[in-house]
Chain A
Amino acid sequence: MRRGQGWLRAIPPAALALGCVLPFLLSNFRLFQFTQVGIYAIALLGLNILTGYNGQISLGHGAFYALGAYTTAIMIDKWNVPYGWTIPVAGLVCLAVGFLFGIPALRLEGLYLALATFALALAVPQILKYFEYWTGGSQGIVLSKPEPPLGLGLSPDQWLYFVTLGVLVVLFVLGANLLRGRTGRAIVAIRDNPIAAQAMGVNSALYKSLTFGVSAAYTGVAGALSALAIAFVAPDAFNVFLSITFLVGIVIGGLASISGAIFGALFIQFVPNWAQEISKAAPWAMYGIFLIVFMYVMPRGIAGSLWLAWTRLARVGRTGRAG
């Protein structure tokens, strides 16, 4: 971080403090919506690591979200595993599957990879129906909402929100450390110039598969949390549209930006609802207009544009010509 912008560092803790106070200011319903924002933000960060930082386009992250959700649901439903354990397991399962999927995907670049992952998104709802014994087929699996630990005095919604917030903070800190260090530079170098990266000794194949795995793990953890928050999983929840929504989220939020994941999550959670408020007849047309306006006004995503605005303001401030 550059000098003179020291108090920018105060933003993440301030945001976290705001995040901690929210449960006591909002109704349970609003809180549930913000829990979903947190869940989406984790998924979007995962996708952003892959697409924004590493330059691999995925139209199939809904599949990993589903895999995470079903891992949690099946573990709770079939084996009565305490829900807390299912979240890391969902992450590990998706890490492994994402890594393995990343190996053949290495041969595919850009749009071809997008198509391969798109196929994954298309296939998942049908695959889920096929393994009916485990997945409950199209009827899905009904879960119970996690109960808050006794003595905290929290409602289930508040508890779930804090669980999500905790996971989010851990994953964001891990993600920031990963991307800021040596590994992160290698990941970005592969995106910017794969040949130069290899010449500098970056093992492109390994890094790409690993990035795919980590990205899938993030999205899987988000899926696991969503299974707990919704307390129900069914194939219809994980259609192709979900994957596309994720892509919209990272582009609107800001590619290759950590805070962009949160802005993107706010967008995909709330804008469809606003669109419906504005026009009952054509909500998706309204949504489309929102998308176009955002892309025109903020071509680098919300995070990118805020950053741009900030640097300009800072420059104006330094030269003493405010306004």
Chain B
Amino acid sequence: MKRTRLVALALVGVLGPLLVAGPAAAQSPGVTPTEIKIGNTNPYSGPASAYGTIGKVIAAYFKKVNDEGGINGRTIDFVTLDDGYSPPKTVEMVRRLVEQDQVAFVFQTLGTPTNSAIHKYLNQAKVPHLFVATGATKWGDPQHFPWTMGWQPTYQTEGHIYAQYVLKNVPNAKIGILYQNDDYGKDYVKGLKDALGDAAKKLIVLEQSYEVTDPTIDSQIVNLKNSGANVFYNVTIPKFAVQAIKKAHDIGWKPLHLLNNVSASVDVVLKPAGLEASKDLITALYLKDPTDPQWRNDAGMKDWLVFMQKYYPEGNTKDAFNVYGYTVAQGLVHVLKQCGKDLSRENVMRQAANIKDLALPLLLPGIKVNTSPTDFYPIEQEQLAKFDGERWALFGEIYDAGKK
């Protein structure tokens, strides 16, 4: 044993200094005159695999871009890997992307815990960590994490919108809350409470939570009704949103029902729950819902359908995630175009932080993407909508969280 260790140490001593100094990194990793390599992780397997379609639709969109000649003469090589929504796997895969595949940057990695696991690593390695797919609030912190940028409105922003609506329009509000017991649910609740301010304690009469593994939420709904609440803040994912809308209707509870954007799909949630039961629901939107009939003749939506048929025919055209992925891919293409010839990591980050009033075809009319060196929240606008039994009728002004 001892001798072997000596041999090993000797080997270490001889080989070590030779090999520690690896080759120096290229000036702009992942960029050649004809190509730019972009890395991504998505949960193609595991508990969150419903999100996997986002990675697929993005890959399909980049294929379309490449077919049309690429960006400034470069095609996109999109390397997307499965992390199964497991943070350790995300770390491994992202390290592979950065260190082995030598991607130029990482784009749209999905999930709050998974992105938390690579947050520090990418910022230390100075690799852009662009447009992460999570509604948590921590991604827009250029002072401490200058290489990370969010994309969608944060859950807290949405909570603010509902709070302002309630404060303005419901004089004797008694708010009952149902939320999923994780970071997503808690962020929504925090947003609402923050914007209610001191009134929160008085206005919120009951908070109920559920676990994502629970079979039903019927008893929570009954409790909320019995609490005398006249405002129902419904922070649930589609499966539970259907149950909540149905149950509230069945037991004759008619509160002002605020449904979070996560479950605002007409086909996935409202139709299964019953259109009658869904009437007068209120939500906040920033994307066009592909199942909402009001967009049937919308040019952007038509283009999207043509794209889906040609490049992602196996994708579900009722799934709002496919609208989401298409839109964020367009956002990135805009950034890359703006980069011109300089695709260094510094310039990609500089241009990502310099988006001015970008309108994208599937964002609601009037909603624009804006960033600056101090504003790393690209989409901060949303508009309220009321369900009229058939479609989401937009009303009121566009709310802008960036204006405050």
Contact = CB atoms under 8 A, between A and B. Distances in A.
A27 B20 CA distance: 9
B5 to A, nearest CB: 7
Contact of B182 (A21, A29, A138, A239): A138
A323 interface: no
A253 interface: no
Contacts of B91: 230-232
A25 B28 CA distance: 25
A243 to B, nearest CB: 13
Contacts of B46: 241
Interface of B is mostly: helix
B167 interface: no
Contact of B95 (A29, A140, A241, A280): A29
Contact of A24 (B16, B84, B95, B119): B16
Contacts of A29: 95-96, 98-100
Interface string A23-58: 011011110110010000000000000000000000
Interface string B33-62: 000000000001111000000000000000
Contacts of B20: 24, 153, 155
Nearest to A276: B82
B47 A239 contact: yes
Contacts of A241: 46, 84, 86
Interface in B220-246: none
A24 B15 contact: yes
Contacts of B82: 276, 280, 283
Contact of B113 (A20, A32, A36, A237): A237
Interface in A6-31: 13-14, 16-17, 20-21, 24-25, 27-30
Contacts, number: 116
Contacts of A239: 47, 86
A25 B99 contact: no
A138 B113 CA distance: 7
A144 B120 CA distance: 8
B96 A234 contact: no
Contact of B117 (A13, A126, A232, A280): A232
Contacts of B186: 137-138
Interface residues of B, number: 49
B95 A32 contact: yes
Contacts of A276: 81-82
Nearest to B185: A138
A24 B15 CA distance: 7
A138 B183 CA distance: 6
A237 B87 contact: yes
| Of listed B87, B119, B186, residue having the most chain A CB within 10 A | B87
B27 interface: no
Contacts of B4: 13-14, 16-17
B72 to A, nearest CB: 28
B9 A236 contact: no
Contacts of B303: none
Given A236-B87, A239-B47, A139 B100 contact: no
A234 B95 contact: no
A283 B44 contact: yes
B112 A226 contact: no
Contacts of A230: 87-88, 91, 117
Given A232-B87, A234-B87, A20 B8 contact: yes
A174 to B, nearest CB: 14
Nearest to A226: B88
A28 B19 CA distance: 11
Contacts of B182: 129, 137-138
A155 B15 CA distance: 15
A24 B13 CA distance: 10
Contact of B86 (A17, A137, A237, A284): A237
A313 interface: no
Contact of A21 (B12, B81, B84, B181): B12
A278 interface: no
Given A17-B4, A234-B87, 16 more contacts: A13-B5, A14-B4, A27-B99, A27-B100, A137-B182, A138-B113, A139-B116, A139-B136, A139-B183, A153-B17, A230-B117, A241-B84, A276-B82, A283-B45, A283-B82, A284-B45
User: Which 3 pairs show the lowest CB-CB distances between chains A and B?
Assistant: A13-B4, A29-B99, A234-B113
Interface of B: 1, 4-5, 7-9, 11-12, 15-20, 22, 44-47, 81-82, 84-88, 91-92, 95-96, 98-100, 111-114, 116-117, 119-121, 136, 181-183, 186, 211, 213
Interface of A: 13-14, 16-17, 20-21, 24-25, 27-30, 32-33, 36, 126, 129, 137-140, 142, 144, 153, 155, 226, 230-237, 239, 241, 276, 280, 283-284
